[in-house]
Chain A
Amino acid sequence: MKAMEMFEKDYLKKGKDIPKFEIGDTVKVHHKIVEAGKERIQVYQGIVIRMKGTGVNKNFTVRKVSFSVGVEKTFFVHSPRVDKVEVTKHSKVRRAKLYYLRNLSGKSARLKERLATKKESK
């Protein structure tokens, strides 16, 4: 396993480049999109409902409701296409995977806001 970790190290982001957020956070993902040879950044905003994997495979899923249709996008944390992740809101959540939000809509699909901890506000 050590050999694999050593190999993956080159593809990991370092220090400040690693996006920091928690499950239930409302985030803005700055996603690089290449279209017709041009690169632009698209901002995708939603709630982080899942984090999965380790090392290079670490990924997270962001859910939002767009025109009353639920949309989920999965990003790799260490992908060069993920430019940065901004946290706009923290929420009080009691589980690691928020799949239950898929079955809820409207007012009940909201999460209770919580204030940032000292560590997070740094």
Chain B
Amino acid sequence: MISGLIGKKLGMTRIFDDKGNVIPVTLLEVGPCTVVQVKSSSGKDGYGAVQLGFEPKKLEKVNKPYAGHFKKAGIKTAFRHLCEFRTAKEEALAVGDELTAEQVFKENTIVKVQGTSIGRGFAGGMKRHGFHGSPSSHGAEKVHRRPMSAGSTDAQRVFKGKRSPGHMGDQSVTIRNLKLVKIKALDAGVEEPEELKNIPAQETAEAQGAETAPEGKEKKKSEVAKAKGRKYVVAVKGAIPGKKNSLVIIENL
């Protein structure tokens, strides 16, 4: 199976485990993602990967190159975000397949999450690198938050990588070894998770063929359709870079 999916940060909250301990969690809305392109190591791309699309958008709303890309894939909608995931083996996935969080992730596993950190603009040395600054009194004048010395006079230059003020944040940050605590379907009621578990079984039953009655078959089909494209909320223990509604990429480790 593919290693990760695209999602959106919802915010932080806390949950209680069965012992009553508090777990701080970040909630992510993950999937559904649609396969837009499949690359294979034997094909012209030379490596195995799957390109996923997240958050559908009207085909007229994207520019021509993108519209062509989606048209080529034979997908009727465009996507706001595209992301590629490397795959080791030849995938059984085809263009147009929809992936949900439940198919890709499991509870109580370790994941990594990539997000964009909150931008802080042009920041000084104290904020950006944790410099201590100078005293506010005792004769200090106009130098309270300045970075001070940039090096010795012997070298007659400033060494590369000298920490100084500059742009801070708005960078891609990956956090590894986060525990995936919970997966829940967004439109699910109280009894829904059990129903979800049944669906893959029904699919296989359907594949087996003619044994099932036609009426039941239709019903199952609609249920499968319902499960398809379902939004899931994934709870990850700890903090995740970025603001609410920012794009995150979550991957199994």
Q: Among the listed stretches B7-15, B36-44, B73-81, B111-119, which one makes contact with chain A, having 4 or more residues with CB under 8 Å of it?
A: B7-15
Number of interface residues of B (CB under 8 A): 17
A77-117 contacts to B, CB under 8 A, are: 78-81
Q: By the criterion CB–CB under 8 Å, are A7 and B20 in contact? A: no
Q: By the criterion CB–CB under 8 Å, are B13 and A55 in contact? A: yes
Is B49 interfacial (CB-CB < 8 Å)?
Answer: no
Is B27 interfacial (CB-CB < 8 Å)?
Answer: yes
The interface bits of chain A over 29-61 (1 if a CB of B lies within 8 angstroms of the residue's CB, else 0) are 000101000000000000000000001110000
Is B19 interfacial (CB-CB < 8 Å)?
Answer: yes
A88 to chain B, nearest CB (A): 24
Number of interface residues of A (CB under 8 A): 17
Q: Which of B15, B29, B231 is the one whose CB lies under 8 Å from A56?
A: B15
Q: By the criterion CB–CB under 8 Å, are B186 and A11 in contact? A: no
Q: By the criterion CB–CB under 8 Å, are A7 and B16 in contact? A: no
Q: By the criterion CB–CB under 8 Å, are A4 and B10 in contact? A: yes
Q: By the criterion CB–CB under 8 Å, are B27 and A57 in contact? A: no
Give the residue among B11, B14, B27, B233 with the most A Cβ atoms within 10 A.
B14
Q: By the criterion CB–CB under 8 Å, are B19 and A3 in contact? A: no
Is A69 interfacial (CB-CB < 8 Å)?
Answer: no
- Cβ of B14: which chain A residues have Cβ within 8 Å of it? 56-57
Is B50 interfacial (CB-CB < 8 Å)?
Answer: no
Residue of B with least CB distance to A5: B13
Is B22 interfacial (CB-CB < 8 Å)?
Answer: yes
CA distance A3 to B7 in the complex (A): 13
A1-25 contacts to B, CB under 8 A, are: 3-4, 6-8, 10-11
Chain A-chain B contacts (Cβ-Cβ < 8 Å), number: 43
B194-253 contacts to A, CB under 8 A, are: 231, 233, 235
Q: By the criterion CB–CB under 8 Å, are B20 and A3 in contact? A: no
B55 to chain A, nearest CB (A): 14
- Cβ of B22: which chain A residues have Cβ within 8 Å of it? 76, 79
Q: By the criterion CB–CB under 8 Å, are B13 and A81 in contact? A: no
Q: By the criterion CB–CB under 8 Å, are B20 and A81 in contact? A: yes
Residue of B with least CB distance to A55: B13
- Cβ of A11: which chain B residues have Cβ within 8 Å of it? 15-16
Q: With A32-B20, A79-B20, A81-B20 in contact, do A3 and B13 touch (Cβ < 8 Å)?
A: no
CA distance A109 to B26 in the complex (A): 41
Residue of B with least CB distance to A6: B186
- Cβ of A57: which chain B residues have Cβ within 8 Å of it? 13-14
Q: By the criterion CB–CB under 8 Å, are A4 and B27 in contact? A: yes
Q: Which of B13, B19, B20, B182 is the one whose CB lies under 8 Å from A4?
A: B13
Report 24 cross-chain contacts, Cβ distance below 8 Å, ordered by A residue: A3-B27, A3-B233, A4-B11, A4-B13, A4-B27, A4-B233, A6-B233, A7-B27, A7-B182, A7-B184, A7-B233, A7-B235, A8-B13, A10-B184, A11-B15, A32-B20, A34-B19, A56-B13, A56-B15, A57-B13, A78-B16, A79-B20, A80-B16, A81-B20
Please provide the 9 A-B residue pairs with the shortest distance between their CB atoms, ordered closest to farther. Answer: A81-B20, A80-B20, A7-B233, A11-B15, A4-B10, A11-B16, A3-B10, A80-B16, A3-B233
Please report A residues at the B interface, Cβ cutoff 8 Å.
Answer: 3-4, 6-8, 10-11, 32, 34, 55-57, 76, 78-81
